[in-house]
Structure 1
Amino acid sequence: MPDTIEELLEDDKSFEGFTRAQVSMVVTNPHLEDNPIVYVNQAFTRSTGYARSASIGRNCRFLQGDDTRKADVDKLRAGIEAEESVTVDILNYRANGEPFMNRLIVAPVQDNRGKTQFFIGIQKELRGNEMSTSAEEINAQLIEIQNRVASDLSMIIGMIRQQSGSTSVPEDFAALSRRIETLQLLYEEMKLSDQQSNRDSIQMGSYLSRLAAAIAHIEGRSGIRVTLQIESLEVPIETATRVGLVLSELLTNAFQHAFDRIDMGLVEVRMSRLSAGGLRLIVADDGVGIPADMEWPDSKTVGGRIVSGLIEGLEGTLHLGRGAAGSFITIDVPAGAALTDE
């Protein structure tokens, strides 16, 4: 089993090729020597020509070249050393040697103790007329994405650290890349990749359907059927973030554990509006079931802590049921979550 977060992330290929965002995203770990990359999205690999395997474990400076201005590099380094957000237009180079101008925003991602755990880099290639576009106009778009990413990652890190005395980056980030991709699918749904969005709500039917289909495609296997029954519903972005992460945890858990030594099975995902307002999410399977003597969500696991923290943040309730075959988990989010029909 891998020993470090970087090895764990590199091992986790489950969502490779999933995201289609046009804004590149990089996560680096300042707790390791030379602050290496531990995550890149597919937009980064498309833009730079460097595969994930060729990027992870290296400092971002490998994108620099002979004509990269030292002043830009110094500005970037100073912001990172001060653990402050910094924006710079910097000349980078693709894997084939082709230069391109990159609008880069780097910001620290802090845990609930205010300690920087990662740096998030949001970058967009500047082309043609964008070269003359004011920094303020493009920055407004990228900063909105960066703020959302940093906020959501901080939330996950805080939940992972809950009930943990560890002050170092824990080794149980095995599925961190999947969680980042779950969030990024939300950003895509918000259309933040292409233009600044002033929306404060999200279409949950589209988001959860895409998320469930993607996880089923990657985590599922022949013989395991998946059915979706998701009503059209629009909710605040903060609610969508938490509900999407909950669904990601529950579905992944079902695919990985519910059908041990079983060739055939069914996973159901249902979401509906509650008559008094709010929403209900149900994830059910007809597999081996969660043992009666097992605590769930398990506070000793990352996934369990994340689910509990997300439900608490939603002021919701979770009920675990055990059927004749398998288990079903019902999550109710109170009134105020649902806004309007799509």
Structure 2
Amino acid sequence: MERAADKPKLTSVLDDSQALAGFSRLNVAMVISNPQSEDNPIVYVNDAFERTTGYNRAAVIGRNCRFLQGTDTDPEAVRKIRSAIEAGEDVSVDILNYRASGEPFMNRLLIAPILGARGKPVYFLGIQKELRDDEQDQANDSARLHLDTVCSRVSKDLGLIVTSLVGKSDAKPPTTEEERQKFLRTLDVLPRRLECLQFVYEEMQLADEQWNRDGIDLGSLLSRISHTIAHNEGRPGVRFVSLVEPLEVNLDTAIRVALMTFELVSNAFQHAFDGLDQGYLELRVNRLAAGGLRMTIADDGVGIPKKQGFPSSTSVGGRLVSSLLDGLDATLNVARGAAGTVIMIDVPVGFTDIRE
């Protein structure tokens, strides 16, 4: 039997497992900005950003991050950030920032571009961590590595989403009002998918803590994602059932399947029961005898119109699902019954049963 010390860690893709643990608990502040809009304004911050800076979301969305700077902020650090953003490159600096109260604090900041299909930045991701006095007195290279690896992983996974949504439109900034509104609709996708990615990272961390695990437990992951959606978007009268077998898959497969589940289950809650007082929605994931897995999402709602393609190429979620299907080499079939819709997806991935 292979010993724990002999098995490679899933988190080796992040170089250090503590990096994932920190992100999963949301101990690091996260910011996303939009360089395609004038002055690269903030479009998303997480709860840790609010706790660290004292600014709430409403006060920072639409503003450039420079409002965190103050009298004693090092101009060289500011210049380094500006130069990297103009060049579309990663940057790492320790910079003096100021809370909403005016209190200064030292901030370890890492910024990475989120690239579109043409390889140009369509967003910038910022990962921040407040440095305490004891940390400022140390070289603390390991802490910097933790943040750097988190930033790299998250920017890569968000890039997967952005590439499928923005596509060729990242060639130039939106100029007309119609183009701006379309871009804003795609932009709205990123923050709402971060929690989905966080669930994947948490399962990844757990897999490393349990030495006999070879992959990510897709059953646990999809159950958590789907029930979180049901909690946030469910309504009285609509029953939801999740029946997911315990299956192990690799990280990239887990990310794609998780994002696809998020899109399809959310879409069903949002649209399947329009005008209905009651309904039933089921997510089922099973192992196929010939290999791979089958995901079925079935509802008894109003159904998809016969002339409407699915997934829709005109919707943000539809384009993302199509891209995820291609990345998994998966097939999708839609059955429209007298009542409701059944969506069946076959994914040809290798996996093993979760061992006791």
Band of TM-score, shorter chain: 0.7 to 0.9
Matched with 1:40 is 45
- Report how far residue 339 of structure 1 moved: 4.0
Moved more, 295-304 or 306-315: 295-304
Structure 1 residues 94 and 234, CA gap change in structure 2 (3 angstroms): farther
Matched with 1:101 is 106
Q: Does residue 1:175 correspond to 2:180, yes or no?
A: no
Root mean square deviation of aligned Cα? 2.4
Q: 277, 282, 288: which one pairs with 2:296?
A: 282
Matched with 1:270 is 284
Structure 1 residues 245 and 97, CA gap change in structure 2 (3 angstroms): same
- Cα deviation, 1:136-157, whole Å, max 9, x if unaligned, reads 3123222221112221222212
Higher normalized helix content (fraction of residues): 2
- Report how far residue 241 of structure 1 moved: 1.0
| Whole-angstrom distance in 2 between the partners of 1:26 and 1:242 | 23
- Given that 1:162 and 1:305 are in contact with CA atoms closer than 8 Å, whether structure 2 keeps it comes out as no
Give the alignment of 1:1-342 within 5 angstroms.
Answer: 20-127=25-132, 129-162=134-167, 167-168=172-173, 170-173=183-186, 174-191=188-205, 201-336=215-350, 338-341=351-354
State the SS of the aligned residue for 2:219: helix
- Report how far residue 20 of structure 1 moved: 4.9
- Given that 1:200 and 1:237 are in contact with CA atoms closer than 8 Å, whether structure 2 keeps it comes out as no
- Report how far residue 262 of structure 1 moved: 0.3
The gaps in structure 1 that reach 5 residues or longer are: 1-18
| Whole-angstrom distance in 2 between the partners of 1:238 and 1:22 | 24
**Matched residue count:** 318
| Whole-angstrom distance in 1 between the partners of 2:47 and 2:306 | 41
Structure 1 residues 76 and 179, CA gap change in structure 2 (3 angstroms): same
| Whole-angstrom distance in 1 between the partners of 2:317 and 2:70 | 41
The gaps in structure 2 that reach 5 residues or longer are: 1-23, 175-182
| Whole-angstrom distance in 2 between the partners of 1:228 and 1:289 | 20
Larger gyration radius, structure 1 or structure 2: 2
Structure 1 residues 272 and 98, CA gap change in structure 2 (3 angstroms): farther
TM-score by length of 1: 0.85
State the SS of the aligned residue for 1:266: strand
Q: What letter matches 1:62 in structure 2?
A: F
Matched with 2:19 is none
| Whole-angstrom distance in 2 between the partners of 1:286 and 1:163 | 37
Matched with 1:16 is none
Structure 1 residues 30 and 264, CA gap change in structure 2 (3 angstroms): same
State the SS of the aligned residue for 1:190: helix
| Whole-angstrom distance in 2 between the partners of 1:222 and 1:88 | 49
